[in-house]
Structure 1
Amino acid sequence: MIKNLAHGTGRRKTATARVYLRQGKGEIVVNGKAISEFFPIEQQVTMIKEPLVVTDAADKYDILITVRGGGITGQAGACRHGISRALIELDETNRPTLKANGFLTRDSRMVERKKYGQKGARRKFQFSKR
């Protein structure tokens, strides 16, 4: 049986990622697929791996991620947040490094809701004087 060393929950917009750290050699699996297969854009893969690079843990752990909701960028942000939280649960000495890089702060920016009598959140219907 494979034992999880630590776990963390990450959120961004409407996406939620559950991250499990296991002893291994650096493989990252997202929803049953390899990370490069699930996230086709290299920039998102790099963004997810940032907490591991900063804490020198890139080759030490296998990571299993289950992510739901939101779009692909929100899911990538949620994965990064979750990995950061799991690394802290594993070793508290990682906190200052991750905090300095801003990986522990949940990005609270959300889509503004549409208001009644308007075309969108801020967009109005065209005004006609006559």
Structure 2
Amino acid sequence: MSTTKVVYWGTGRRKTSVARVRVVPGNGTVTINGRPGDNYLNYNPAYLAAVKAPLQTLGLGAEYDILVNVRGGGLTGQADAIKQGAARALCELSPDNRKPLKTEGHLSRDPRAKERRKYGLKKARKAPQFSKR
């Protein structure tokens, strides 16, 4: 007889970061790329709060562990990608979780990303200095 472990998956994206998030029953620990969450996020309380926000919204902070593989981008993008992935995983847990997560904005992807550089310009919008003569 095989023992099946309950695992809920979710994928989150932000800027160039992609996070694959697993939510499993546990005691509320966050593990990111094999490291403790607070260590990976440089003990930044804003990043930790963003990662745990979906669980806090549902009042499940100490009931589930978050296991994450994340690639690309910086810590801000990665933290927001983890937040979205965790929210999607919690929607798999129960369809009733979707409404409170949606109202808090945890399920929507932030579309802002770096704007591409255009030819004839120095950066995306910065033009070279204009010379009249």
Q: C-alpha separation between the residues in 2 aligned to 1:14 and 1:127?
A: 34
Aligned residue number for residue 7 of structure 2: 5
Deviation for aligned residue 1:3? 2.5
Assess if the C-alpha contact under 8 Å between 1:6 and 1:22 holds in 2.
yes
Any gaps of 5 or more consecutive residues in structure 1? none
Q: Which residues of 2 match residues 90-109 of structure 1 at below 5 A?
A: 90-109=93-112
Change (3 A) 1:104 1:64: same
What is the distance in 2 between the residues matched to 1:102 and 1:5? 23
Separation in 2, partners of 1:25, 1:102: 25
Matched, 1:119 2:108: no
The percent identity for this pair of structures is 46
Q: Secondary structure at the match of 2:10?
A: strand
Secondary structure, aligned partner of 1:115? coil
TM-score by length of 1: 0.96
Query: 1:4·1:20 contact (CA, 8 Å) conserved in 2?
Result: no
CA contact (8 A) 1:2 1:22 kept: no
**Which of 36, 61, 65 matches 1:62?**
65
Q: TM-score, normalised by structure 2?
A: 0.94
Amino acid in the other structure paired with 2:31: V
Query: In the superposition, relative to structure 1, how do residues 77 and 4 fare at CA in structure 2: closer, same or farther (>3 Å)?
Result: same
* 1:110 pairs with 2:104: no
Size of the aligned set, in residue pairs, is 130
For structure 2, which runs of at least 5 residues remain unmatched after alignment? Answer: none
RMSD: 1.2
Distance 2:129 2:15 in 1: 30
Match among 82, 85, 96 for residue 82 of structure 1: 85
User: In 2, distance between residues paired with 1:99 and 1:117?
Assistant: 42
> Does structure 2 conserve the Cα–Cα contact (< 8 Å) formed by 1:54 and 1:98?
yes
8 Å CA contact retained: 1:55, 1:94 = yes
Amino acid at match of 1:83: A
